[in-house]
Amino acid sequence: MTTKDQAIIRLIIIGDEILSGRRYDKHFSKLIELLGARGLQLGGAQIIPDDLDTIAATLERSFATPDIVFCCGGIGATPDDQTRQASAKALGVALELHPEAAALITERCAENERNGVGSADMSLPENQQRLQMGMFPQGAEIVPNSYNKIPGFFIRNHTFMPGFPVMAWPMMEWTLDTRYRELHHLTHRVEHSFLAFNLPESRITPAMEHIELNWPGVKAFSLPSVGESGGQPHIDLGVKGEPEPAAEALAYLRQQVLDLGGSLSPALK
């Protein structure tokens, strides 16, 4: 199992519709929210197209890491869905119909028939096509889908989910709470920030470098604003890390702003 020191958590979003702007991604902010509630954080994200070779190459590199990876999109059974095939290609294994997935898809078709939609006859071409959504790389495990029973799959620390938030987000939660519960809240990290005015970013940079040299594990950050919304130009300065050293570093940084001629509130007009 991945240890806390190795647990870089990443997101891969797969879909031409995101890159073209036809749809807007919602998974990035949701995963950050779900991780934060569990004392975890996102370590990276990327968006790639529905192209078999591109997905396979991306996944081959990703499978070579110990990272925890969530992949959203492209696990359906239409020609533009290439993620299942690409994951098998990246792993060098065949696709096979997962028996649990087949049972769940069959159950879903029976439910549809009871609701007056479609047929439960699995020999029909449309239901045979639905079974394609249960074709996973050899060795994969299913990821339950509480919305419509059509599962995602898990292999080598990678969780593959549909692009639909109503399905993907419960799958993310289930995975975090079932597979990675032991990683939750292993360390308590905080983030503090404040606004500094009348101070160029270049002047406070040495103080930020001093923090990272003298408070191991504490990271300083700076987000400058030029006053684009009509406000006064300022810098959003802060630190993040374990509570005690972060608090010490924050106090140092605030004092440095004052010592260097800045202010912690807008100048009175």
pLDDT of residue 187: 78
> What's the pLDDT tens digit per position in 11-49?
999 999 999 999 999 999 999 999 999 999 999 999 999
pLDDT of residue 231: 81
pLDDT of residue 265: 74
Element (H, E) at 239: strand 234-241
Please state the rounded mean pLDDT for residues 195-222.
95
What share of the chain has pLDDT > 70, as a percent?
A: 96
User: What is the Cα 68 distance to its own chain's centre?
Assistant: 9
> What is the radius of gyration, based on Cα positions, of the chain?
24
Q: Binning pLDDT at 50, 70 and 90, where does residue 5 land?
A: low
pLDDT at 269 over 50: no
Residue listed under structure tokens 């292999």: 155
> What's the pLDDT tens digit per position in 173-199?
999 999 999 999 887 888 999 999 999
Residue ranges of domains in the chain, CATH in brackets: 9-183 (3.40.980.10), 190-259 (3.30.70.1130)
Task: Assign 230 to helix, strand or coil.
Answer: coil
pLDDT of residue 136: 98
pLDDT at 171 over 80: yes
> What's the pLDDT tens digit per position in 43-91?
999 999 999 999 999 999 999 999 999 999 999 999 999 999 999 999 9
pLDDT of residue 189: 83
What is d(CA 49, CA 22) in angstroms, rounded to the nearest whole number?
13
Residue 219: exposure state from Cβ atoms within 10 A (0-12, 13-18, ≥19): middle
pLDDT at 1 over 50: no
Q: Binning pLDDT at 50, 70 and 90, where does residue 268 land?
A: very low
- Note the pTM of the prediction, 2 decimals: 0.84
What is d(CA 120, CA 107) in angstroms, rounded to the nearest whole number?
8
For 8, how many CA atoms within 13 A lie in the half-sphere containing its CB?
A: 10
What is d(CA 76, CA 21) in angstroms, rounded to the nearest whole number?
20
**Mean pLDDT over the full length of the chain:** 93
> What's the pLDDT tens digit per position in 235-252?
999 999 989 999 999 999
pLDDT at 6 over 70: no
